[in-house]
């Protein structure tokens, strides 16, 4: 292993479809889904340009079965942390093909940040309203103090 290298990926994006859940021969769960991330910039003409990047994500084990399968759905805003992995295979014509995606960390590699497409608010679960302060002008009796 080369010293001084890092293979770490962090994504925040939305699922394009419900995760596909399958099980290996020994019963271990595997979840697969794609996450869309967006980037925008001003072009030379001053117009706003936008690009959507789709990244394949794979989640293994109990995280896939107990967390992804019941809670992560199409449209869900998720935080993904993991590492890049490139798979190599041969197609029907014998040509070598490659596919690079993210393998999520087993613990904390998938976190739900917001609701899915059926949510009333895409940021449900992330209340961004300021907390209202209680009225501090109320008088407090000595008997109400804990000390």
Return the closest-CA partner of residue 37 out of 50, 52, 48. 52
Q: What pLDDT, on the 0 to 100 scale, is given for residue 108?
A: 87
Tell me how far apart the alpha carbons of residues 20 and 14 are, in angstroms, rounded to a whole number.
15
* 33-61 pLDDT, tens digit each: 999 999 999 999 999 999 999 999 999 99
Domain regions of the chain by residue span:
1-38+51-114
pLDDT for 124 beyond 90: no
Task: Output the CATH code of domain 1-38+51-114.
Answer: 2.40.50.140
pLDDT in the model for residue 131:
44
pLDDT for 120 beyond 70: no
Q: pLDDT tens across 98-108, in order?
A: 999 999 999 88
């Amino acid at each position: 292993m080369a010293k001084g290298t890092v293979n770490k990926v962090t994504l925040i994006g939305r699922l394009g479809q419900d995760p596909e859940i399958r099980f290996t021969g020994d019963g271990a769960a595997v979840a697969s889904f794609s996450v869309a991330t967006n980037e925008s910039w001003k072009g030379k003409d001053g117009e706003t340009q936008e690009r959507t990047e789709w990244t394949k994500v794979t989640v293994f084990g109990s995280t896939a079965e107990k967390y992804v399968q019941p809670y992560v759905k199409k449209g869900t805003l998720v935080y993904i942390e993991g590492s890049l992995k490139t798979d190599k295979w041969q197609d029907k014509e014998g040509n070598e093909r490659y596919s690079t995606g993210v393998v999520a960390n087993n613990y904390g590699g998938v976190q739900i940040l917001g609701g899915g497409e059926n949510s009333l608010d895409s940021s449900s679960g992330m209340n961004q309203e300021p907390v209202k302060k209680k009225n501090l002008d109320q008088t407090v009796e000595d008997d109400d103090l804990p000390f």
